[in-house]
Structure 1
Amino acid sequence: MSEVPFHYIDLRVFCYDTEADSRVADALGHFLPEDVEIERTDSEGHLGDRIGVLSTRVERADDMRHVLDQLRDGADIEQIRDQLDERVDDNCSLFVHLDKQAAYLGDAQLGDGISLRAKVEAYPAKKDAAVENARDALAD
């Protein structure tokens, strides 16, 4: 895949008080090249518990290729491809929720924990064109 049909890819994960920050960062890092920086923002839960928000935006084509390669190598890539009509919204954004524990163990599986949002390039900016571009990007 020479061209990457995305403007950017955002990844975000919550780190709760009961979790080790380094392990949550490692789970997010599974999808990222080594030189991509992860930002941390601290927040507070309803009961006053600490919640860290780890996030990053990937905009360089090579970095986006890396994220897509990690996603493509995952166990649930066929399910993601089959559900693209539901996963791409009218604003041409692709949404995938990935299992945090599986990512920590080196796999990309659908689940809870890590949110991936990718802004799909589509001209004209229509959902159908975005779905086809996302389908091409996620093909083997």
Structure 2
Amino acid sequence: MGEKLSVAFLELRILSHATEDAEKVYKAFKNVVTSEVLVEAEPSRQKLEGHYGNPITLLTLKTYSKPLIKKTLTNIFGRLSRSDKLRLLAELEDRIDGEGNFYLRLDKQAAYLGQLKLEDSDPIRVRIKLSITARQKSRLLEACKGLIEELAES
């Protein structure tokens, strides 16, 4: 395996539209972060307004806690299908920005049903802030591969 990757923080964001049941959206969120993590870290709720004045609630959880980060990422990577893990590895370079953020988008509907899978449309957005800078891109890619493989086996 490559070098050990350090995660500075983890942020999850999900939008709850007026047409959606807020409790179902929260359940989807909870299935990604786990009830255990939500006992220790309370997500913030922000009221927003859509383009046509429709109410939207943004649910955000940001943590710097290494144990909570590990629990959440282990839950995510451990529950993704083999094909989604292979897709992540294939798209790794495109999922990391110049600031060292690693992005995932998870299917909100599937998460509500207790399944985790990658999806770009109306997703649960996951941002993993990595401690290695983009200037060290090859190290970053190698470390991300190691993180995915390690947590998927946990």
* TM-score, scaled relative to structure 1: 0.89
72-81 vs 86-95, which deviates more? Answer: 72-81
Amino acid at match of 1:91: E
Q: 1:124 to 1:80 in 2, by over 3 A?
A: closer
Higher relative contact order (CA 8 A, sep 6+): 2
**Kept in 2: contact 1:10–1:55 (CA 8 A):** yes
1:126: Cα distance to partner? 2.5
Q: Deviations over 1:38-97 (max 9, x none)?
A: 110001111110001001102111111111112212122221122111111121110111
Q: Deviations over 1:92-138 (max 9, x none)?
A: 11011110011111121111321111111216852222222221111
Give the Cα separation in 1 of the matches to 2:105 and 2:139.
22
**Kept in 2: contact 1:87–1:94 (CA 8 A):** yes
Q: 2:67 aligned with 1:59, yes or no? A: no
Structure with the higher helix share, 1 or 2: 2
Matches within 5 A, 1:1-140: 5-32=6-33, 33-35=37-39, 36-72=41-77, 73-75=79-81, 76-111=84-119, 112=121, 113-122=123-132, 125-139=135-149, 140=153
**Kept in 1: contact 2:98–2:134 (CA 8 A):** no
RMSD, matched Cα: 1.7
Residue aligned with 2:38, SS: coil
124-133 vs 9-18, which deviates more? Answer: 124-133
Q: 1:138 to 1:45 in 2, by over 3 A?
A: same
Aligned-residue sequence identity (percent) comes to: 25
Unaligned runs of 5+ in 1: none
Across the two proteins, how many residue pairs are aligned to each other? 138
Unaligned runs of 5+ in 2: none
